[in-house]
Chain A
Amino acid sequence: MDRVPVLKLGDILIVSIQIDLQDQSVLALQEDLADKVVATGARGVIIDITAVEIVDSFIGRMLATIAAISRMLDAETVVVGMRPAVAITLVELGLSLGGVRTALNLEKGVALLNHLEGSRIAAAVQ
C-alpha cells in the first residue's frame, strides 16, 4: 500500500495526493494526519488534489472526515487544486462537501488559513 507523505511548513501540514488512491491509503492518511496534527500542534491542514483525476464518494467522505477530525483537534482544513471536471462530477454525484473549505490553489489555501488564524486571534483578544 502506498502512503501519502505529510509535509510540515511552519504550523501548516501539507498533503499532496499524487497517486491513484486505494481505499486503504485513504484510511491510513486520515490516521497519519490526525496524529501529526496533535504531534506538531498544527493550526491548518492543506490537502492538494491538483493531481487527483477523480473524487468518488469514498474519497469525498475522506476529505469531509479529515476536515471534521482536524477541526476537533483545533486545526482548519483547506482542500486546494480541485479540477473543474472533478467539481462538476462531485456535485452531480450528490456530494457537495458542505463542511470542507476549498481554495483554488496552494497559495490561496495558505492565505485562507492565515486569514482564519488572524480572525481567531482577533476574536480571542476581544
Chain B
Amino acid sequence: MTTPAELPVNSNSDVVLVRQHVRTTAIDVGLSLVDQTKVVTAASELARNALVYAGGGQVRVEIVHNGIRKGLRLVFSDEGPGIPDIEQALTDGWTTGGGLGLGLSGSRRLVDEFDLKSAPGEGTLITVTKWAR
C-alpha cells in the first residue's frame, strides 16, 4: 500500500473505500486488532461527517514515526461551512445533522491524538493519530 495517500470523500462508497484503505494501512503500521478497529471506526465517523456536513472533502492517510514508534495519521479536510463552536461540537450527543452526536466526540476517544481546526466559512481540518504500542 502506498502512503501517503489522498482519498476523496464525496460519496457513501468513498466512505467504504476510506475504511478499507485505513484498515490496510493500520495493519502495515502494526496496530493491534483492537487499535485497528478503533482507528477504522474513527475514520468512518470522520469521513461521514465530511460528507454529511460539508458535502464532501478528502482524507490524507500517512504513516508517521516518533523515534522507533510508528503511527497512522489521518488528515480530513473539507471546504464546508466550518464549525462555529468547536467545544460544543465535541460534546457527546450534540448534533445538527440528526445523528447521535457521537461522531466527533467518539472519534476523539478512539485515537491517541486529535486536533480540530475550523472556523465559520473556512472549512474544517481534523488530524488524528493512532500510535502502535
Contacts and interface: CB of A to CB of B under 8 A. Distances in A.
A83 B38 CA distance: 13
Given A85-B37, A89-B34, A23 B48 contact: yes
A93 B41 contact: yes
A55 B41 contact: yes
Instruction: Report the contact-size class of chain A (Cβ under 8 Å from the partner).
Output: 20 to 34
A20 interface: yes
B110 to A, nearest CB: 6
A85 B92 contact: no
Q: Main SS of chain B's interface residues?
A: helix
Interface in A50-65: 53-58, 60-61
Interface stretch (B2-10, B13-21, B62-70, B121-129): B13-21
Interface stretch (B53-61, B72-80, B100-108): B100-108
Interface in B86-133: 92, 99-100, 102-103, 105-107, 109-110
**A-B residue pairs, 7 tightest by C-beta:** A93-B106, A85-B37, A56-B44, A57-B102, A85-B34, A23-B12, A22-B12
